[in-house]
């Protein structure tokens, strides 16, 4: 009787398990499925029937999106015994973490849908839209005067890369913020940020805007970056210029939202949650 009569070649084992040979070789490479025997003369790989259970467990993790690279931690390298209890516990924890990330993805996607609907409403309105927006957390960097489109791009690039290097994550709002100081304005590049990522509330660049009333409209990027011409009489405390997040976004020629703080009107206004 041949030594391999009761063993499966890699091709036969592929047919048995439904897993292609390339994947079986990958499982071997990362240490989660070693052939029971490798012919020293021709390097042919052979597997046992019992190893089919291991392949099924690996596929179970593949279908759940569990990283396979750490499964070898639950296989004894000397005896190839599989510690299924610990391996399954690892898989359960990995799936829980994946579910948490998917829930975060859904929450963020729904938030982006709401933001998109709001921007489309601004886009279709012939007059400024009155609304209450939730609190905002921003990081600022000085931008100086006469913010041309090119200067805005250069400063934004530098600012966002600095934020990234600090281990922080900028949100979806990035733009120019003008803050009134007496009869003039101080201009900044701003990015919204999650304060819980790190204790940034004591950062000198940090600005918290409470939930408040705004007026918003859609404009092209203003000439020389100056938005004060839109306010010949009133002097809002805060003016923001940011990309308009539209359903069909043209990154070559984006539209911009001009938003400014305002006193609540006597009539009812839209409350953005």
pLDDT for the residue 229 = 79
pLDDT for the residue 225 = 67
pLDDT for the residue 1 = 44
Question: How confident is the chain (273 residues) per 10-residue block, as mean pLDDT?
Answer: 83 96 96 93 94 93 91 87 92 94 95 93 94 94 91 95 90 92 91 76 88 94 80 89 92 93 61 42
pLDDT for the residue 266 = 47
Residue 268: both structure tokens together: 């009812």
- Residue 175 pairs in a beta bridge with 190, 242
Adjacency order of strands within the sheet including 206-209: 206-209, 136-142, 184-193, 170-181, 238-243, 256-261, 212-219, 129-133, 270-271
How far apart CA 8 and CA 23 sit, in angstroms, is 16
pLDDT for the residue 79 = 84
Residue 266: both structure tokens together: 């006597």
CA atoms within 13 A on the CB side of 200: 21
The helix (H) or strand (E) run that includes residue 46 is strand 45-47
pLDDT for the residue 198 = 67
Q: How many CB atoms lie within 10 A of CB 100?
A: 10
Residue 64: both structure tokens together: 């759940």
């Amino acid at each position: 009787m041949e030594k391999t009569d009761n063993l499966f070649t890699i091709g036969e084992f592929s047919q048995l398990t439904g897993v292609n040979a390339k994947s079986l070789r990958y499982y071997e490479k990362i240490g989660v499925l070693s052939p029971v025997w490798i012919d020293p003369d021709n390097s042919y790989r052979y597997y046992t029937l019992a190893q089919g259970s291991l392949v099924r467990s690996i596929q179970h993790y593949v279908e759940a999106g569990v990283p396979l690279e750490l499964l070898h931690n639950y296989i004894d390298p000397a005896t190839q015994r599989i510690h299924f209890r610990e391996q399954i516990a690892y898989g359960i924890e990995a799936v829980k973490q994946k579910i948490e990330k998917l829930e975060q993805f859904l929450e963020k996607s729904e938030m982006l849908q709401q933001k998109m609907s709001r921007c489309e409403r601004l886009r279709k309105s012939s007059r400024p839209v009155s609304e209450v927006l939730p609190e905002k957390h921003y990081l600022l960097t000085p931008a100086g005067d006469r913010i041309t489109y090119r200067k805005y791009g250069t400063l934004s690039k530098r600012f966002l890369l600095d934020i990234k290097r600090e281990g922080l994550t900028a949100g979806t709002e990035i733009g120019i913020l003008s803050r009134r100081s007496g009869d003039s304005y101080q201009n900044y590049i701003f990015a919204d940020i999650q304060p819980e990522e790190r204790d940034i509330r004591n950062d000198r660049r940090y600005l918290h805007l409470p939930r408040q009333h705004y007026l918003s409209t859609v404009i092209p990027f203003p000439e020389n970056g100056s938005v004060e011409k839109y306010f010949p009489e009133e002097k809002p405390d805060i003016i923001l210029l940011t990309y308009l997040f539209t359903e069909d976004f043209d990154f070559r020629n984006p539209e911009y939202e001009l938003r400014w703080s305002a006193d609540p009107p006597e009539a009812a206004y839209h409350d953005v949650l």
